[in-house]
Amino acid sequence: MTKKLQNITDKLPPLIALLGFVLIWQLVCFFKIVPSFMLPSPIEVVLAIINDFSTLLHHGKVSLIETLAGLLLGIILAFVMATVMDRFVVLDKAFYPLIIVSQTIPTIAIAPILVLWMGFGMAPKITLVVITTFFPITVGLLEGYKSVDKDSLNLLKAMGADNLQIFYHLKFPRAMPYFFAGLKISASYAVVGAVVSEWLGGFEGLGVYMTRVKKAYSFDKMFAVIIVIVIISLLLMKLVKEIGKMSMPWLNLAKNENVNQK
């Protein structure tokens, strides 16, 4: 009962804030404070979503596939890089600065180049998603590996564990919370990455659809796409959070118990 109550008092404020935001938006449109061609009203946007639903679904699917493929490859890349960099300090020193540099390159500039190199298929889009997503995961994992305290390390060494065992029993599980924190950030950027690359060259996906409706001055549809992107991003983040919770049962426990114990 109190837990339910807690749940409500947690969820009420953002709901009210959201409703308030939408209401103000609607009023601004209703009283024509901003001309309607510049800002569609929320109702128009909702109608656009409903009317365009099948189109949005189609393009959304394409973007989602690119996002997920990119995210998966990004995870694999990040995992390999972080693990190798953690194992060999020289590589860490050598590549960490380059990785940071890679993050300051505007995706909008490299997207067209990628299309030029890789063609019209999904490859350049997925590559762009990989580029935007591997960084937070790599940094997260590296930080996670480094967070392992010397004592735990010594404990396993004293048991005679080899590097692989130390990795499996200690480093990886310890890095998991960091990994998921990084993954959550990546997930929030991944969809946007896919959309940007589609925007700059492609014939399917939300980004393409967006350029199209923008050219047609259909701002209501444009906002509809934005909302779809936001929803996909949020769902993806939620998914990451849930997977994280499931993969790390000891963390939730700790929280519940600490209240009673200390």
The nearest distance, CB 248 to a copy of itself, in angstroms, is 20
Task: Check residue 221 for interaction with another protein (CB under 8 A).
Answer: no
- Residues 114 and 128: beta-carbon distance below 8 Å: yes
Task: Check residue 158 for interaction with another protein (CB under 8 A).
Answer: yes
- Residues 238 and 246: beta-carbon distance below 8 Å: no
Those residues whose C-beta lies under 8 Å from the C-beta of residue 87, and which sit 6 or more positions away, are 163
Considering CB distances under 5 to 8 angstroms, the limit depending on partner class, which of another protein, a copy of itself, none binds residue 216? another protein
Considering CB distances under 5 to 8 angstroms, the limit depending on partner class, which of a copy of itself, another protein, none binds residue 85? none
Of 16 and 34, the one with the shorter C-beta distance to another protein is 34
Rounded to the nearest 10 degrees, the angle between the axes of helix 123-147 and helix 172-199 is 160
Q: Return the closest-CA partner of residue 148 out of 172, 179, 181, 180.
A: 172
Query: Which residue in the set 85, 208, 222, 228 belongs to the binding site for another protein (CB under 8 A)?
Result: 208
Longest Cα separation, the chain: 74
Task: Check residue 51 for interaction with another protein (CB under 8 A).
Answer: no
Query: Which residue in the set 11, 117, 146, 238 belongs to the binding site for another protein (CB under 8 A)?
Result: 117
Task: Check residue 106 for interaction with another protein (CB under 8 A).
Answer: no
Of 106 and 160, the one with the shorter C-beta distance to a copy of itself is 106
Of 22 and 118, the one with the shorter C-beta distance to another protein is 118
Burial (CB < 10 A; 0-12, 13-18, 19+), residue 186, is buried
The nearest distance, CB 160 to a copy of itself, in angstroms, is 27
Burial (CB < 10 A; 0-12, 13-18, 19+), residue 224, is buried
Q: Which amino acid is at 164?
A: L
* Site for another protein, rule CB under 8 A: 34-38, 55, 111-112, 115-120, 149, 151-152, 154-161, 165, 169-170, 173-174, 176, 200-203, 208, 211-212, 214-218, 248-250, 253-254, 257-258
